[in-house]
C-alpha cells in the first residue's frame, strides 16, 4: 500500500502555497495503491478514489502541517491519505443507508455492485485507513492514533443520531448542530489537528486548528444542506432534493420548524411525509417543501449562518498565523463553502 510522493522543498519562512499543496494531493491519489485480490473486494475502493471529490480533509491536513514544516514527506502524506480513505468508507456506508443512487454524478458503490459488496468493501477501506495513519512518526503515532480513533467513533455516533432523527417529526436546532458536528465536522477538525501534531505544532496551535476545522465543517454541512435544495445538480453531483425525498432532517428543515407557526408546521409535516414514487410525485414533493422554505426565508438564513461559522473558524486561527498564512486558510474556507454564494 505504498505511495510514490511528490516531494516539495521550500524555505521554512514561506508557507507552501495552495497550488503546491493541491498538486501534492492530486499526485497522492493518482498514485494510491490498494491490494489487488480479490478484485471484487478491492475494485470498489479504487472506484471510490477514482471518482474524485474535493479532497478537503487531506488538503487541510497538509496545509496545517505546512505551517510548521517546509517539506511534504511520507510522515504526513500517508496519514493524509488515510483520512481521505476513511472518509470514502463512510460515504460508501452512508449511501447504502440513504439508498442514494448517485455520488459525484456517478453510480454509488451499492448501486454499481450490490449492498453486500458495498458493506464489505467499506469495512476493508476503514481498516486500510488505519494502516495509513499508522505511518505517522513513531514518537507521535500514539497521539495521532488516539485522535483518529476518537474521531472515527464520533463520526459513527453522528450517523446514528442522523438515522434516529429520521424517526422524529421535529429536531431542536442544538441537537441538529451537535449531530453534524459529529458526523461531518470532527473529521475535518481531525485532519487539521493531525497535520499540526505531525508538523510539531505547540498544543495550543493544535487545538486552535482543530477548532478552525470544526467550525468550518459546520459551515460546510449547512452549505451542503442548502445546496441539496437549491444547488445545481451538475455541480452538486447528486440529485437535488434528496434530503426532502428521504425525509431527512436538514438544517433547512430544522430551521423551518423553528420559524413556522402551527399551521405552516402542519403543512410542512404533510409535505415532507407525502409519498413520492413517480418522477412527477417526486418533483411535486420537492417543490412543495421548497415553497414553504421560501415563504420562511430559511435559505437566506442558511447563508447567514454559513458566513458566521466561517468567520468563527477564521477567528480561531488569527492568533497563530497572519499575512500569507492566514490568507491561505481564508482562501481554503472560501473554496469550501463559497458554493452557496
Instruction: Please check whether residue 244 lies inside any domain of the structure.
Output: no
pLDDT for 210-232, tens place per residue? 999 999 999 999 999 999 999 87
Instruction: Please check whether residue 157 lies inside any domain of the structure.
Output: yes
DSSP character for 276? -
Question: For the chain, what is the domain count?
Answer: 1
Give the angle subtended at the CA of 67 by the CAs of 326 and 305, to the nearest 5°. 40
- State the Cα–Cα distance between residues 147 and 190, nearest whole angstrom: 7
pLDDT for 279-334, tens place per residue? 999 999 999 999 999 999 999 999 999 999 999 999 999 888 777 788 889 989 99
Give the residues across from 9 on adjacent strands.
71
Model confidence, pTM:
0.90
- State the Cα–Cα distance between residues 338 and 223, nearest whole angstrom: 9
Instruction: Please check whether residue 299 lies inside any domain of the structure.
Output: no
* Joined grid coordinates for residue 119: 458493506
pLDDT in tens, the chain (341 residues): 444 444 333 334 456 788 889 999 999 999 999 998 999 999 999 999 999 888 999 999 999 999 999 889 889 999 999 999 999 999 999 999 988 888 888 999 999 999 999 999 999 999 999 999 999 999 999 999 999 999 999 999 999 999 899 889 899 999 999 999 999 999 999 999 999 999 999 999 999 999 999 999 999 999 999 999 998 776 666 678 888 998 889 999 999 999 999 999 999 999 999 999 999 999 999 999 999 999 999 999 999 999 999 999 999 998 887 777 888 899 899 988 875 55
**Residue matched to cell numbers 490498494:** 34
Instruction: Please check whether residue 229 lies inside any domain of the structure.
Output: no
Instruction: Please check whether residue 231 lies inside any domain of the structure.
Output: no
CATH of the domain at 121: 1.10.600.10
Domain range for 108? 8-219+320-340
Amino acid at each position: 500500500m505504498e505511495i510514490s510522493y511528490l516531494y516539495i522543498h521550500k524555505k521554512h519562512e514561506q508557507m507552501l502555497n495552495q497550488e503546491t499543496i493541491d498538486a501534492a494531493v492530486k499526485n497522492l491519489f493518482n498514485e494510491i495503491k490498494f491490494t489487488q485480490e480479490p478484485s471484487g473486494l478491492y475494485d470498489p475502493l479504487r472506484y471510490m478514489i477514482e471518482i474524485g471529490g474535493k479532497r478537503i480533509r487531506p488538503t487541510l491536513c497538509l496545509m496545517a502541517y505546512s505551517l510548521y514544516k517546509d517539506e511534504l514527506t511520507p510522515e504526513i502524506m500517508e496519514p493524509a491519505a488515510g483520512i481521505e480513505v476513511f472518509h470514502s468508507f463512510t460515504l460508501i456506508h452512508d449511501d447504502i443507508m440513504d439508498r442514494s443512487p448517485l455520488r459525484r454524478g456517478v453510480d454509488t458503490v451499492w448501486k454499481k455492485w450490490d449492498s453486500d459488496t458495498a458493506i464489505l468493501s467499506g469495512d476493508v477501506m476503514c481498516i486500510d485507513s488505519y494502516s495509513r495513519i499508522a505511518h505517522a512518526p513513531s514518537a507521535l503515532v500514539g497521539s495521532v492514533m488516539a485522535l483518529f480513533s476518537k474521531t472515527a467513533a464520533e463520526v459513527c455516533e453522528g450517523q446514528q443520531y442522523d438515522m434516529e432523527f429520521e424517526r422524529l417529526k421535529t429536531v431542536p436546532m442544538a441537537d441538529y448542530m451537535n449531530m453534524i458536528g459529529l458526523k461531518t465536522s470532527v473529521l475535518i477538525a481531525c485532519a487539521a489537528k493531525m497535520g499540526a501534531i505531525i508538523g510539531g505544532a505547540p498544543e495550543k496551535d493544535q487545538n486552535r486548528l482543530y477548532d478552525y476545522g470544526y467550525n468550518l465543517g459546520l459551515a460546510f454541512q449547512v452549505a451542503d444542506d442548502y445546496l441539496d435544495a437549491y444547488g445545481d445538480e451538475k455541480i452538486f453531483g447528486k440529485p437535488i432534493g434528496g434530503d426532502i425525498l428521504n425525509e431527512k432532517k436538514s438544517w433547512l428543515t430544522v430551521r423551518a420548524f423553528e420559524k413556522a407557526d402551527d399551521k405552516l408546521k402542519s403543512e410542512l409535516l404533510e409535505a415532507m411525509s407525502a409519498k413520492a414514487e413517480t418522477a412527477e410525485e417526486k418533483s411535486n414533493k420537492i417543490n412543495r417543501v421548497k415553497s414553504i422554505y421560501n415563504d420562511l426565508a430559511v435559505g437566506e438564513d442558511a447563508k447567514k449562518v454559513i458566513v458566521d461559522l466561517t468567520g468563527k473558524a477564521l477567528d480561531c486561527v488569527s492568533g497563530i498565523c497572519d499575512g500569507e498564512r492566514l490568507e491561505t486558510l481564508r482562501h481554503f474556507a472560501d473554496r469550501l463553502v463559497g458554493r452557496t454564494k
